[in-house]
């Protein structure tokens, strides 16, 4: 009984860090080739397949004049801050977006929902300033949409007393010269990481299903026996000798 327990004990030992490095080093060609191929696929996707997009950025502010209703700069600023979310929502209404589509011929077949997917509107806390970003495959079209959106926001706001004459353009969009996406360096790094992880997974799965002993030391470790002698060379080499 003691002998059986002794034989089973080594099987319960976990794999060591040294063993992991040995496995990786023994299969370095698999790790290298898989990582290389995944990286090449990522590079081809980034530089050849995916179409670059450009982002045009513009800025508007919300200004409330001081009059008999607002008696100080602080109260005017407070009202402007409270109107930020209203103006943001107003900019993305069909009323404004359809007006933009009507003014730009290349958008004639686009719906307001499709146009809205190209537009991002953001704000800074406690500041009555709205940043408008438009992303498109065409740098010229991205600029045109951003600037036309500002014009239509100002124009259509005349029908709404709450925001009438309070939307003021600060910066109109300039034509972007450099694509905003894809991030080429990031895509390459991610491809290399994915390739490395995938290759290691292949190596460890390969080792998991490999139940052969690779050395006399492994036989002694897992079978608790003393190896007296071993025949050098691989099976293939021994067959050649025979």
Q: What is the pLDDT of residues 68-123, one digit of tens each?
A: 455 567 777 787 888 889 999 999 999 999 999 999 999 989 999 999 999 999 98
Give CA–CA dist 146/97, Å, rounded: 11
Give CA–CA dist 235/239, Å, rounded: 6
pLDDT at 127: 85
pLDDT at 21: 84
Give the confidence band of 223 by pLDDT, cuts at 50, 70, 90: low
On the 0-12 / 13-18 / 19+ scale of CB atoms within 10 A, 123 is middle
Report which of residues 235 and 125 the model is more confident about. 125
Phi then psi for residue 135, to 5 deg, are -110, 130
pLDDT at 144: 96
Q: At residue 12, does pLDDT exceed 80?
A: no
Least confident stretch, 34-38, 166-170, 201-205:
201-205
Q: At residue 241, does pLDDT exceed 50?
A: no
Question: Sheet harboring 129-136: ordered strands across?
Answer: 119-123, 129-136, 54-62, 167-171
Nearest CA to 88 out of 163, 151, 180 is that of 163
Q: At residue 220, does pLDDT exceed 70?
A: no
pLDDT at 212: 67
Percent share of the chain, pLDDT over 90: 51
Give the confidence band of 9 by pLDDT, cuts at 50, 70, 90: very low
pLDDT at 114: 95
pLDDT at 4: 43
Q: How many CB atoms within 10 Å of residue 159?
A: 9
């Amino acid at each position: 009984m003691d002998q059986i327990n002794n034989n089973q004990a080594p099987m319960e030992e976990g794999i060591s860090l040294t063993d992991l490095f040995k496995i990786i080093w023994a299969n370095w060609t698999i790790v290298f080739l898989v990582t290389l191929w995944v990286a090449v696929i990522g590079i081809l996707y980034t530089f050849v397949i995916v179409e670059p997009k450009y982002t045009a950025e513009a800025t508007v502010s919300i200004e409330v004049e001081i009059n008999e209703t607002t008696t100080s700069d602080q109260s005017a600023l407070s009202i402007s801050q409270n109107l930020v979310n209203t103006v943001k929502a107003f900019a993305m209404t069909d009323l404004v977006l359809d007006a933009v589509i009507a003014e730009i011929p290349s958008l004639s077949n686009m719906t307001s929902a499709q146009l809205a997917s190209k537009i991002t509107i953001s704000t800074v806390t406690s500041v009555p300033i709205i940043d408008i970003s438009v992303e498109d495959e065409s740098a010229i079209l991205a600029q045109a949409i951003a600037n036309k959106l500002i014009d239509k926001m100002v124009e259509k706001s005349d029908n709404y007393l709450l925001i009438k004459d309070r939307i003021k353009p600060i910066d109109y969009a300039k034509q972007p010269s450099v694509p905003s996406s894809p991030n080429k360096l990031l895509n390459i790094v991610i491809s290399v990481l994915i390739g490395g992880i995938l290759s290691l997974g292949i190596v460890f799965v390969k080792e998991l299903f490999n139940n052969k002993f690779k050395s006399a030391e492994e036989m002694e470790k897992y079978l608790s026996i003393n190896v007296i002698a071993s025949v050098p060379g691989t099976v293939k080499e021994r067959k050649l000798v025979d």
